[in-house]
């Protein structure tokens, strides 16, 4: 398959000015799959109502079929077509954070969405992305669009069209290049189907922000206990991993420096994921400064680019700093833990 590649201004304000968006939407209506930017990461979109379109998403990504897909909409009215009810707490969250990096789990009406998109579950995750290109493509297609991250399953999520092309060129119908994404980590997922809302995945909207709007929320036990069964099927899979082993180092930068030196003495080539504050402190074979430690939003924005970068460097092992689990730091550490397969050097 030849993948069509379009460039489009990320601040697109009218569909008429960008025929590329109409072409992408036409492909979606033909049940093909197309990658497009959102404010979090690039998504791989397909018609959420069509079994064949959803199967194409799973095939392109190599994604397990019991891992449900998030449905993206351009207008809140779309949700009424396939959602059974919208609880009051969900309405509050939509009012506060949509469009934005928040996915809300709701109960579905049967027979509207492809069961492959929901993995046969009675619930579905829905969000309205905060990106002009994404919104215009969805609006023009006039469809609910299932869109997981546009990468090979298990690899770091794509924050640029170049990342998408590396993983999926020749496997999908098209890629809309709207430049780099902003948030850098995926949306927060919150289940609003029970009395107490539960965070299933930390992400671009922080728990602190959510609790300011709706009060106390629970955290899925699997977020703090790797032995617990995750409530969200997709959270049981390994994600975001670079091609060589990654270890998270608990403790001081002096401790990390000692580990680097020990590994080099054993003849290993060492990569380090660190921050701007510490990048000149370490003597490693490759160093990626992932934002500023004092501003964890910059760390989140650069995290996946950093994890991907090690695949193109001659390193045998990667050590990473750990980060405070406050604000978006919780999402950063969630992704790093998965990328490292929970390998932490105490």
Task: State the Cα–Cα distance between residues 20 and 339, nearest whole angstrom.
Answer: 35
Task: State the sign of the Cα–Cα–Cα–Cα dihedral 94, 54, 161, 23.
Answer: negative
- Known binding residue 187? Answer is yes
Q: What is the pLDDT of residue 4?
A: 97
Cis peptide preceding 99, ω within 30 of 0: yes
Task: State the Cα–Cα distance between residues 320 and 250, nearest whole angstrom.
Answer: 9
Q: Which of 222, 193, 217 is nearest to 205 (CA)?
A: 217
- Known binding residue 201? Answer is yes
Task: State the Cα–Cα distance between residues 27 and 34, nearest whole angstrom.
Answer: 7
- Known binding residue 335? Answer is no
Q: What is the pLDDT of residue 226?
A: 67
Q: What is the pLDDT of residue 14?
A: 66
Whether residue 35 contacts residue 164, with contact meaning beta carbons closer than 8 Å, is answered with: yes
Q: What is the pLDDT of residue 66?
A: 84
Task: State the Cα–Cα distance between residues 85 and 108, nearest whole angstrom.
Answer: 8
Whether residue 42 contacts residue 177, with contact meaning beta carbons closer than 8 Å, is answered with: no
Q: Which of 321, 249, 307, 310 is nearest to 279 (CA)?
A: 321
Q: What is the pLDDT of residue 9?
A: 87
For residue 253, give both structure tokens.
């930068």
Average pLDDT per run of 10 along the chain, which is 346 residues long?
93 76 97 98 98 97 90 97 96 98 97 96 97 95 97 93 97 96 95 95 96 96 72 61 94 96 97 96 96 96 96 96 95 95 93
Q: What is the pLDDT of residue 229?
A: 60
Q: What is the pLDDT of residue 237?
A: 56
Q: What is the pLDDT of residue 282?
A: 96
What structural domains does the chain harbor? 4-232 (3.90.870.10), 246-345 (3.40.50.11030)
Q: What is the pLDDT of residue 233?
A: 52
DSSP states along 11-75? T---GGG-HHHHHHHHHHHTT--EEEE-SSSEEEEEETT-HHHHHHHHHHHT--TTS---EE-SS
- Known binding residue 239? Answer is no
- Known binding residue 149? Answer is yes
Task: State the Cα–Cα distance between residues 220 and 330, nearest whole angstrom.
Answer: 13
Q: What is the pLDDT of residue 278?
A: 95
| CA angle (325, 330, 331) in 5-degree steps | 155
pTM for this predicted structure: 0.93
Q: What is the pLDDT of residue 207?
A: 96
- Known binding residue 127? Answer is yes
Task: State the Cα–Cα distance between residues 299 and 159, nearest whole angstrom.
Answer: 13
- Known binding residue 326? Answer is no
């Amino acid at each position: 398959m030849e993948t069509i590649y379009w460039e489009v201004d990320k601040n697109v304000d009218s569909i008429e000015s960008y025929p590329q968006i109409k072409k992408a939407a036409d492909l979606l209506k033909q049940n093909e799959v197309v990658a497009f930017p959102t404010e979090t990461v690039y998504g791989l979109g397909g018609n959420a109502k069509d079994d064949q379109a959803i199967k194409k998403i799973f095939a392109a990504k190599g994604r397990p079929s019991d891992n449900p897909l998030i449905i993206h909409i351009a207008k809140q009215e779309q949700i009424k077509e396939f959602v059974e009810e919208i609880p009051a707490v969900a309405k509050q969250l939509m009012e506060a954070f949509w469009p934005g990096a928040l996915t809300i789990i709701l109960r579905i009406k049967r027979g509207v969405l492809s069961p492959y998109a929901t993995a046969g579950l009675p619930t579905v995750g829905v969000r309205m992305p905060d990106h002009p290109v994404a919104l215009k493509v969805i609006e023009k297609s006039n469809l609910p669009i299932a869109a997981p991250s546009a990468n090979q399953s298990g690899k770091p999520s794509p924050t640029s069209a170049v990342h998408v092309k590396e993983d999926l060129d020749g496997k999908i119908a098209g890629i809309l290049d709207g430049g780099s994404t902003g948030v850098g980590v995926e949306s927060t997922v919150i289940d609003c189907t029970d009395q107490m809302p539960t965070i299933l995945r930390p992400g671009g909207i922080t728990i602190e922000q959510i609790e300011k709007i709706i009060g106390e929320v629970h955290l899925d036990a699997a977020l703090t206990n790797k032995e617990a069964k995750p409530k969200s099927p997709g959270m049981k899979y390994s994600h975001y991993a670079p091609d060589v082993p990654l270890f998270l180092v608990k403790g001081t930068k002096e401790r990390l420096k000692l580990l680097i030196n020990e590994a080099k003495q054993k003849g290993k080539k060492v990569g380090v994921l660190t921050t701007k504050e510490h990048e000149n402190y370490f003597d490693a074979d490759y160093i990626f400064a992932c934002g500023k430690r004092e501003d964890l939003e910059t760390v989140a924005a650069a995290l996946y680019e950093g994890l991907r970068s090690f695949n193109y460097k001659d390193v045998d092992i990667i050590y990473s700093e750990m980060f405070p689990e406050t604000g978006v730091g919780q999402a950063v550490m969630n992704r790093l833990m998965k990328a490292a397969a929970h390998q932490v050097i105490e």
